[in-house]
Structure 1
């Protein structure tokens, strides 16, 4: 039974991690056009998620955890918008460093990973229930 409990703990940690990844990706997409209204001001900076390993003390299982929610320090693209309140003297506005195509790809990958962990959790629960039925 301990192995089956570990399966569910590992899958649960995976679902939690991928859920956080989806949350961060959603924030990035929502802010893909969020600029500063101040000339030379900073627009929205893309967030990134870094995963790490955590060993469960009770079972010894390696589970996934969120190590860090950081910021993508790549340069901001400049866009010519002379009438924008955040435009510099030359008429350029710093745009967020968010590529929505990359974000949508990350979202799809995170959704599939979440689904895989959910299936693993369901299989672990089903196996546990079958074991209990056999012991009756």
Structure 2
């Protein structure tokens, strides 16, 4: 869930900077992307830890490995009046595409919702299992 929230945060940051032509280092904003990695763990080790009462937080699933800059070409827009225009009148605009960012945000939101649904299902199963012992 944390990884999906980070994906949503990065998509929001990208959208917020869609018109940023000058960052702190003087260059146009570059789209950021979250690199996710799998944290695989087999069922036997998870069950063994659960049976022994060990904390199983942050095990398995997906984790954000890094946030990287997208190195695709920046957009050149003709606007001679812009303060960041070059000698030919072109402004280098960020490589942020609203459709990509919206799609990424929707995918992250759906994944987050799916995780919540899975957690609720596990919680319900645990409650039902406790009722069996009554």
Does TM-score exceed 0.5, indicating one fold?
yes
> What is the DSSP-based 3-state SS (H/G/I as helix, E as strand, rest coil) of the residue aligned with 1:59?
helix
2:5 pairs, out of 19, 28, 35, with 19
Q: CA deviation at 1:76?
A: 0.3
Alignment of 1:22-37 (within 5 A): 22-36=8-22
Give the TM-score of the pair, scaled to structure 2: 0.82
1:108-123 mapped onto 2 (5 Å cutoff): 108-123=106-121
Mapped partners of 2:90, 2:33: distance in 1 = 26
- Per-residue deviation at 1:53? 1.7
Following the alignment from structure 2 to structure 1, what is the Cα–Cα distance between the partners of residues 19 and 116? Answer: 33
Alpha-carbon deviation of 1:63?
1.6
The DSSP-based 3-state class of the residue aligned with 1:93 is: strand
Alignment match, 1:47: 32
After TM superposition, the score normalised by the length of structure 1 is 0.80
Aligned residue pair count: 119
Which residue, out of 73, 78, 91, partners 2:71? 73
Aligned structure 1 segments of 4 or more residues deviating by more than 4 angstroms: 55-58
RMSD over aligned CA atoms reads 1.9
Distance in 2, matches of 1:114 and 1:63, equals 13
Give the gaps of 5 or more residues in structure 2. Answer: 48-58
In structure 1, C-alpha distance between the alignment counterparts of 2:97 and 2:38, rounded to whole Å: 28
Alpha-carbon separation, structure 1, partners of 2:131 and 2:41:
28
